[in-house]
């Protein structure tokens, strides 16, 4: 059964692109329910003219590198792809970002062939991974990765960054963006953790909804919009082993309660496309499952757009998952299950095999027509048939100064102060600073995956305007006051040279260690252990031994375990992957220009083998290390979900409910007074949790249902109100049905809690 979200954020859809700070936004996605529309006659007429080969070609997507030779576009191979193999879609770059001019030249060449040298003149649909900004275009604006955006608790910032990404991607000439990622970050070993909004389902639902609206709401035929792609449907983010594209085992109750809702919200938001999970759930590859791709995605969620596989996934039904005895059978399974377009992407096997399957009657023409209708319809919607070429007028939307301000605000609101003993931060001006650590002079570590290159690790590809923490610190206090031997090679041993630290510690007033992870994307970012690398642990311990105040900056895409060095640090700041304005934002936080307001979008584990989530079951609250001793403390992270300190203090008043007893048709009004009891202005995230005290399926300890962020001057108080409905009290029962049961519930905000009854 599809969730019915209450229509309580209509005003949010009208938020200006530059509503960047202090925006108070409700936290439940809404939209008009997607409804079937009459067939587009333009598409219907075109389908009548298409041969089997024409149609299968439209379902075929290949990568650009397949069309390159000696780093130059191979025109003959391009013509073979488009004219002979009828290829309908191309993606990616050939390893390095392109300038706007290079993109325009490339896409013009491609569209010239498609629209002038083929009989049907169907334009090419070009797709790209603009994951946290326009990834593969020189000089584009990059924003914090989603895990940092989850820390902002600010939907308006997510929407604003998506609108900029849409504008800059469209200025490049590209109209299809493979974003947003809507998995739930509940497996911290996983290398794509940084691309998720957090471990709470509502974060992905609300923030993903806003990203899609940002990409698409101007209208797909407009120069400020791109087609979004909700991904990776479904259950991709929790591989049991922690390794990318490996099996997940998810009970149906969890699948529907935790992992499906963001895709419900994305469908309601109007996402044009969906990318399918490369992995498998309970032994069933998602890209080969009619149950997941047709029964649930189409039947239950009502999604009508284009479904594309991920990289090389269809052939892997044969070569890796081994549910197909031959490559041909793999194509048959995937297409019949509901995949519309195959990201093949390095050969024409899909085209050849699918033509055979159609001619042999093993894939019905009705399934082909259904898929091709969706593909061609999207091309019409994007205005490609009217003008297939890069739109010159879109160039004016690229690289505006205002975009940097959005990126800066996003970084500022994401950065999370985890520890601050004796008010070590903000730092005072004056004196020398000893700066060390592998992330101190690394652009890649601040950006992470999909940053001008796939891995985000090629320091030469970043714009000259991109600075490191070292450069930002030198800009702030003067190069003469920064003692550092850090290089831009994350693996350089000099970055963790303890001898250098000891030789120079006496000269410094404070030691800043920028530690964490190098940049990585997908499988190359796989790890076997959550613990931070030993060389960085040893560097921190050596710094503590000097007696100087030590500030740790964590540049990382996932929570690396640092329990061995937490106690010795005077202050700890989680930067996540703050991107293009991250270094400047870090300085503004460290020196108190801006009050930190980020809060953890995940539970930060204390031990590598003890990952318990915020919405744990009550039995996970129990520790029984001594038989028959039922102590608490089962949820024992280093820092709890939602933790984040400020340079001021906030208090929460008692929770006010409009009633103490409700029926399932009632709205539940929740109000809490939030006060700034400190001596400076600040922003505070307000999370509302719901607990079902007793249920027929073991209830979670609590679940995040609503959130917002407000600004308060010193001494100021504001009332924050939320509205809950029966849907917020629902769960998936043992029959995999959404249900609401009468009984006692509680709501909690901050350190306050209030109970009510549902009749």
**Dihedrals phi, psi of 671, to nearest 5 degrees:** -130, 140
| 3-class state of residue 345 by DSSP | coil
Who contacts 679 (Cβ-Cβ below 8 Å, separation ≥6)? 648, 714
Q: What pLDDT score does 624 carry?
A: 81
Mean pLDDT of 533-561: 98
User: Tell me, what DSSP letter sits at residue 298?
Assistant: I
| 3-class state of residue 533 by DSSP | coil
pLDDT tens digits, one per residue of 299-329: 999 999 999 999 999 999 999 999 999 999 9
pLDDT of residue 267 exceeding 80, the answer is yes
pLDDT of residue 35 exceeding 70, the answer is no
pLDDT of residue 22 exceeding 60, the answer is no
pLDDT of residue 33 exceeding 90, the answer is no
| Dihedral angle, C-alpha 307, 312, 314, 315, nearest 10 ° | 170
Q: What pLDDT score does 623 carry?
A: 83
Pairing state of beta strands 550-555 and 510-516? parallel
pLDDT tens digits, one per residue of 235-246: 999 999 999 999
Catalytic residue among 54, 244, 310, 687: 310
Q: What pLDDT score does 20 carry?
A: 36
Q: What pLDDT score does 12 carry?
A: 33
pLDDT of residue 173 exceeding 50, the answer is yes
pLDDT of residue 23 exceeding 50, the answer is no
pLDDT band of 628, cuts 50, 70, 90:
confident
Question: What beta strand segments (E) does 27-66 contain?
Answer: 60-63
Q: What pLDDT score does 16 carry?
A: 36
Task: Give dist(CA 389, CA 107) in Å, integer.
Answer: 7
Q: What pLDDT score does 538 carry?
A: 98
pLDDT tens digits, one per residue of 429-449: 999 999 999 999 999 999 999
Mean pLDDT of 225-229: 98
The candidate with the shortest Cα–Cα distance to 741, out of 661, 664, 659, is 664
Q: What pLDDT score does 642 carry?
A: 98
Percent of the chain's residues with pLDDT above 90:
93
Mean pLDDT of 208-236: 98
pLDDT band of 5, cuts 50, 70, 90:
very low
Task: Give dist(CA 658, CA 645) in Å, integer.
Answer: 31
Task: Give dist(CA 589, CA 591) in Å, integer.
Answer: 6
310 is catalytic: yes
Task: Give dist(CA 373, CA 376) in Å, integer.
Answer: 5
Give yes or no for a contact between 473 and 548, defined as CB atoms under 8 angstroms apart. no
pLDDT band of 100, cuts 50, 70, 90:
very high
Task: Give dist(CA 473, CA 666) in Å, integer.
Answer: 54
Q: What pLDDT score does 630 carry?
A: 75
| 3-class state of residue 532 by DSSP | coil
Which residue reads 């985890």 in tokens? Answer: 418
**Dihedrals phi, psi of 429, to nearest 5 degrees:** -65, 150
Domains of the chain with bracketed CATH: 44-388 (3.20.20.300), 404-590 (3.40.50.1700), 648-758 (2.60.40.10)
Instruction: Work out the burial of residue 338: count CB atoms within 10 Å of its CB; fewer than 13 is exposed, 13-18 middle, 19 or more buried.
Output: buried
Q: How many helices (H) and strands (E) are present in the chain, helices listed first?
A: 21, 29
pLDDT band of 38, cuts 50, 70, 90:
confident
DSSP H helical ranges for 172-305? 201-216, 252-254, 261-269, 290
The residues facing 306 across adjacent strands are: 273
Instruction: Work out the burial of residue 223: count CB atoms within 10 Å of its CB; fewer than 13 is exposed, 13-18 middle, 19 or more buried.
Output: buried
pLDDT tens digits, one per residue of 597-614: 999 999 999 999 999 999
Q: What pLDDT score does 37 carry?
A: 58
Tell me what the pLDDT averaged over the chain comes to: 94
Alpha carbon 357 to chain centroid distance? 37
The candidate with the shortest Cα–Cα distance to 413, out of 25, 10, 47, is 25
């Amino acid at each position: 059964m599809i969730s019915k979200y209450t229509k309580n954020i209509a005003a949010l859809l009208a938020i200006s692109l530059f509503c960047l700070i202090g925006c108070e936004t409700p936290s439940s996605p809404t939209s008009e329910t997607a409804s079937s529309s009459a067939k587009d006659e333009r598409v219907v007429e075109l389908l009548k003219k298409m041969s089997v080969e024409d149609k299968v070609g439209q379902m075929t997507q290949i990568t650009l590198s397949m069309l390159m030779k000696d780093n130059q576009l191979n025109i003959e191979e391009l013509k073979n792809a488009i004219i002979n193999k009828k290829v309908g879609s191309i993606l990616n770059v050939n390893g390095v970002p392109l300038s706007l001019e290079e993109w325009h030249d490339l896409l013009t060449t491609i569209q010239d062939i498609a629209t002038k040298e083929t009989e049907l003149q169907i334009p090419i649909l070009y797709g790209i991974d603009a994951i946290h900004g326009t990834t593969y275009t020189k000089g584009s604006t990059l924003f914090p990765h989603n895990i940092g955006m989850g820390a902002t608790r600010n939907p308006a910032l997510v929407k604003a960054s998506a609108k900029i990404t849409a504008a800059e991607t469209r200025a490049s000439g590209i109209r299809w963006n493979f974003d947003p990622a809507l998995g739930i970050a509940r497996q911290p070993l996983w290398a794509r953790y940084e691309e998720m909004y957090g471990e709470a389902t509502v974060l992905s639902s609300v923030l993903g909804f806003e990203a899609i609206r940002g990409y698409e709401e101007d209208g797909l035929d407009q120069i400020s919009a791109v087609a979004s792609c909700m991904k990776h449907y479904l259950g991709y983010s929790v591989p049991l082993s922690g390794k990318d594209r490996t099996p997940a085992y998810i009970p149906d109750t969890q699948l529907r309660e935790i992992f499906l809702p963001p895709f419900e919200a994305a469908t309601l938001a109007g996402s044009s496309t969906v990318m399918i999970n490369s992995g498998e759930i309970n032994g069933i590859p998602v890209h080969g499952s009619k149950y997941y791709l047709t029964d649930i995605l189409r039947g239950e969620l009502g999604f009508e757009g284009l479904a594309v596989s991920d990289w090389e996934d269809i052939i892997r039904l044969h070569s890796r998952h081994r549910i197909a005895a031959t490559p041909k059978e793999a194509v048959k399974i995937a297409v019949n299950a509901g995949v519309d377009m195959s990201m093949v992407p390095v050969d024409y096997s899909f085209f050849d095999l699918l033509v055979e399957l159609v001619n042999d009657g093993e894939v019905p023409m009705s399934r082909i027509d259904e898929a091709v209708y969706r593909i061609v319809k999207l091309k019409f919607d994007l205005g490609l048939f009217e003008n297939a070429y890069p739109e010159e007028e879109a160039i004016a939307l690229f690289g505006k100064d205002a975009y940097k301000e959005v990126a800066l605000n996003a970084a500022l609101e994401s950065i999370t102060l985890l520890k601050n003993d004796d008010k070590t931060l903000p730092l005072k001006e004056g004196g020398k600073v000893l700066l060390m650590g592998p992330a101190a002079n690394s652009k890649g570590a601040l950006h992470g995956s999909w940053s001008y290159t796939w891995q985000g690790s090629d320091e030469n590809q970043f714009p000259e305007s991109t600075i490191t923490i070292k450069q930002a610190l030198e800009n702030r206090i003067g190069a003469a006051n920064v003692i550092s031997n850090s290089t831009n090679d994350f693996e350089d041993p000099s970055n963790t040279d303890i001898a250098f630290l000891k030789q120079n510690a006496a000269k410094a007033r404070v030691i800043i260690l920028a530690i964490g992870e190098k940049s990585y994307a997908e499988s190359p970012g796989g790890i076997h252990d959550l613990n931070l690398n030993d060389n960085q642990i040893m560097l921190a311990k050596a710094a503590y031994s000097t007696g100087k105040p030590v500030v740790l900056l964590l540049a990382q895409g996932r929570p690396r375990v640092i329990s061995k060095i937490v106690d010795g640090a005077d202050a700890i700041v989680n930067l996540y992957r703050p991107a293009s304005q991250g270094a400047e934002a870090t300085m503004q936080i460290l020196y108190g220009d801006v009050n930190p307001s980020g809060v953890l979008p995940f539970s930060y584990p204390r031990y590598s083998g003890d990952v318990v989530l915020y919405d744990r079951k009550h039995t996970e609250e129990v520790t029984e290390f001594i038989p028959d001793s039922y102590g608490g403390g089962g949820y024992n992270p280093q820092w709890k979900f939602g933790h984040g300190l400020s340079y001021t203090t906030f208090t929460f008043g008692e929770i006010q409910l409009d009633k103490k007893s409700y029926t399932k048709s009632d709205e539940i009004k929740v109000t809490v007074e939030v006060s700034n009891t400190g001596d400076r202005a600040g922003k505070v995230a307000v999370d509302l949790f719901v607990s079902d005290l007793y249920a027929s399926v073991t209830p979670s300890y609590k679940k995040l249902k609503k959130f917002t962020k407000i600004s308060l001057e010193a001494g100021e108080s504001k009332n924050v109100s939320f509205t809950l409905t029966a849907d917020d009290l629902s769960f998936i029962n043992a029959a995999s049905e959404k249900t609401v049961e009468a009984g006692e519930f509680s709501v909690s905000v901050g350190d306050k809690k209030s109970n009510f009854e549902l009749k």
